[in-house]
Amino acid sequence: MKTVLKFAVAATLAASAAAQPHHHHQHARAHQHARAHEHGAELLQRGTPSLDERSPAVDYQFVEETVYVDVNGNTISNTDAAAGLADGEYSIIGESNPSATTPVAAPSSTAAPATTSVASSSVASSSAASSSAATTSSASGAEFVEVKLGSVSSSTTAAATTTTEAAKSSTVKSSAAASSTASSSSSSSSATGVDADFPDGTIDCATFPSAYGAVAVDQTTVSPWVGYMDVGTEGYTLLQTADITATISEPTSGDPKAGYFVGYHCPVGYDQAQWPAAQGSSGQSIGGLWCGTDNKLYKTHSTNTKLCQAGAGNVNIVSELSKSIYICKTWYPGNEGMYLPTEVTAGSTVSLFNPYQSESFEWEGATTSAQYYLNLQGLSASEACVWTSPSPYAESAGNWAGVNLGTSVDTSGTTYLSIFHNTPTSTAALDYNIVISGNDVDGTPCKYTYSSNEFTGDGNGCTVSTAGGTVTVTLSD
């Protein structure tokens, strides 16, 4: 079994450059992981969808170039890599967040070709490496993404702040729709859900902190937790900023133990607000609470005092379907499995978590987005929000769901939302249509038609943006 890395470079080409656009496009591709097989093939997957962004004066085409390399930097052809994925010779362990930025239009009507620059170094075979692309400008009007794979630089203490904006109310029946005053076995009697500051060193690691807004999941092997990342009791100290060089393992059973980072779900419209400045030295993303040597839980973020933080509240999923579906968010920062379930029942509306980039995890200084897997109708969380779905959904759900959705709000206040095929892992068709609309939303029509398994424009996906409006994602039979 071979060890390979896969990533995509998103090149932005400008044409008809008669004006300068007023916004930037920052898109983070979904995080997909498959466990490395016992004997060690690893494949790091990165990608961005093909995106079209239109302006009255400037026509931009976002183009995806897929590159496969082994961990020593040797290029592998797309055909060989795709065949290896199909027959099990390669296994996916991770993926990062390449970015595409709308370029400043060049004075010439013909843009110079976009260039790409990729440098890679060895990645520890035991790591579930994840990275994010930095965006580099070109004076010609073309943009390219430069991806560097290797050791993570020591990060400084994060200066993120939390938002107290409440997510829009939802009529969805969701595994994440817990009340902010949920009961808990915690000894604290003053907790008030997502609005409560989490008290360090008072709650046992084996006690799930639902009184502080955490929402239990029931489809993981470590339920009610999302997952564990074990760096050992000597591998990390609170508020450490230097790289975590210890071996990182992922226990799959039992209660949290000293040395574990523990991931948790949050109510609809919220997401995990705890992650350390220190990240894996081989590129692993790490998040969640910390189980200390005293077997008590501790916050890991230097400034976030709560367990969950609200998103912008301006992305709504509207179901016109006859059955429920699960939209599964990745645990990121964390092991990046698609383990955070939201059930959208037939006829309901749910406000999807749409993160502010300024308040979100950064990978090597690059911003990241929320990433979701859209699953077939009628599946349960145990069939949809897991790494490997049971038969007959093994190639059409979970990690192999055919369509992803990514969304975030950039520093200018512009929301970018994309839907796209989960390539090269899967292009399985959904069993419903998707239409993205809204007032003051650019990039519409952006549609997915399940009968043809195609997006608007026959590309791999489509993107919309809005500087202050609400994006509605309508699902229909």
The Cα-based distances of 425 to 94, 216, 261, 331 in angstroms read: 12, 28, 28, 18
Residue with tokens 């929402």: 215
Q: How many residues does the chain have?
A: 477
pLDDT tens across 109-154, in order? 333 333 333 333 332 333 333 333 333 333 222 222 222 222 223 3
Angle, CA 457 vertex, CA 452 and CA 460 arms, to 5°: 70
Least confident of 49-58, 236-245, 299-308, 463-472: 49-58
Q: Whole-angstrom Cα distance, residue 293 to residue 234? A: 9
- Predicted confidence at residue 250, as pLDDT, reads 96
Confidence of residue 363 (pLDDT cuts 50, 70, 90): confident
The end-to-end CA distance of the chain, in Å, is: 41
- The pTM of the full predicted model, rounded to 2 decimals, is 0.66
Closest CA to 304 of 200, 413, 217: 200
Q: Which domains are delineated in the chain?
A: 4-149 (no CATH), 155-477 (2.60.110.10)
- Predicted confidence at residue 82, as pLDDT, reads 60
Residue with tokens 């060049």: 106
- What does the CA dihedral 405, 382, 454, 113 come to, rounded to 10 degrees? 40
Confidence of residue 16 (pLDDT cuts 50, 70, 90): very low
- Predicted confidence at residue 73, as pLDDT, reads 54
Residue 104: DSSP 8-state: P
Residues linked to residue 373 through DSSP beta bridges, in sequence order: 328, 404
Q: Are 376 and 345 in contact (CB under 8 A)?
A: no
Share of the chain above pLDDT 90, in %: 57
Helix/strand/coil for 237 = coil
- Predicted confidence at residue 78, as pLDDT, reads 57
Residues linked to residue 271 through DSSP beta bridges, in sequence order: 309
DSSP result, 399-458: GG-SEEEEEEE-TTS-EEEEEEE-TTT-----SSEEEEE-TT-BT--EEEETTTTEEGGG
Q: Examine the pLDDT at 369 and tell me if it is beyond 60.
A: yes
Q: Examine the pLDDT at 375 and tell me if it is beyond 70.
A: yes
